[in-house]
């Protein structure tokens, strides 16, 4: 059986090494590569028949979980396994909250990489050894916010990312080639879905689920 797998990472050497690792031990797999979320979106728009996306969390143009959030919103039927150097258990759990089917550390051996691919393609979940999906402490609040974020449409995710970058409605409209009225409608929908009262609160709410190195709080953004 042939499986189409797309490797998404901004480092060509890592993409090549991962591809060689998998090609050496698999039969009938078709591999493609993308260096960013835009390249991945283009590949999936051209052909949505994809068995697995191997996605790096930290790439240019995305921050924290925003790439995974956007991918799941735009292509909810495509299985995704995160491949990352980040080994924080809370980050791993948040990825599963957002719909990931697996989480693979970049430090794993070739044998475990191949096992993880086989497991996810068979419909299972893959977690690093010693990591549980049970939330700890204040992670329940984060899980609730992630569930709300997961209800956003792809365009609403893009708008929220731009709000987090401090862009005003006029700038967002220009970047997305839409009207300011449409931007305001998206912002209003975002506030309702996240159960917050202002765009500042929406940015802070989204930032709270970005653990450690992902956190980038934005102050003083324009009110609706």
The string of pLDDT tens digits covering residues 97-106 is 889 999 999 9
Tell me what pLDDT residue 210 has.
55
87, part of any domain? yes
Boundary-marking domain end, from 121, 149, 178: 121
> Residue 32: in which H helix or E strand, if any?
strand 29-34
Same domain, 110 and 167: no
Tokens read off for 23: 């090609």
Same domain, 9 and 112: yes
164, part of any domain? yes
128, part of any domain? no
Number of domains making up the chain: 2
8, part of any domain? yes
Helix intervals (H) in the chain: 12-23, 37-46, 66-74, 89-97, 110-121, 139-149, 154-164, 169-176, 180-194, 199-208
Same domain, 56 and 159: no
For 51, the domain range is 3-121
Same domain, 157 and 59: no
Contact 75, 96 (CB under 8 A): no
Confidence of residue 212 (pLDDT cuts 50, 70, 90): very low
Same domain, 93 and 161: no
Q: Is the pLDDT of residue 13 over 90?
A: yes
Q: CATH number of the domain at 41, please.
A: 3.40.50.2300
Same domain, 66 and 176: no
222, part of any domain? no
Same domain, 185 and 82: no
Contact 64, 37 (CB under 8 A): no
Angle, CA of 93, 192 and 98, to the nearest 5°: 15
Q: Average pLDDT for residues 162-174, to the nearest whole number?
A: 91
Q: CATH number of the domain at 157, please.
A: 1.10.10.10
Same domain, 30 and 113: yes
Same domain, 11 and 113: yes
Same domain, 98 and 158: no
Q: Return mean pLDDT, the chain.
A: 84
Same domain, 186 and 151: yes
């Amino acid at each position: 059986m042939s499986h189409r797998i797309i490797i998404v990472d901004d480092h060509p050497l890592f993409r090549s090494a991962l591809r060689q690792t998998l090609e050496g031990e698999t039969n009938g797999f078709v591999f493609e590569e993308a260096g960013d979320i835009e390249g991945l979106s283009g590949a999936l728009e051209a052909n949505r028949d994809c068995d697995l996306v191997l996605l790096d969390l930290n790439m240019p143009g995305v921050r924290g979980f925003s790439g995974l959030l956007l991918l799941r919103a735009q292509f909810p039927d495509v299985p995704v396994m995160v491949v990352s150097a980040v080994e924080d258990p809370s980050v791993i759990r948040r990825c599963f909250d957002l719909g990931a089917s697996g989480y693979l550390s970049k430090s794993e051996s070739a044998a475990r990489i191949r096992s993880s691919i086989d497991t996810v393609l068979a419909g299972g979940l893959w977690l690093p050894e010693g990591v549980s999906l049970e939330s700890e402490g204040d992670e329940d609040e984060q899980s609730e916010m992630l569930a709300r974020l997961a209800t956003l449409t792809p365009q609403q995710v893009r708008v929220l990312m731009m709000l987090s970058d401090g862009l005003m409605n006029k700038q967002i409209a220009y970047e997305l080639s839409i009207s300011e009225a449409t931007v305001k409608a998206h912002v209003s929908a975002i506030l309702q879905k996240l159960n917050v009262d202002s765009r500042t609160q929406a940015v802070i709410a989204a930032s709270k689920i970005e653990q450690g190195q992902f956190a980038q709080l934005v102050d003083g953004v324009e009110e609706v």
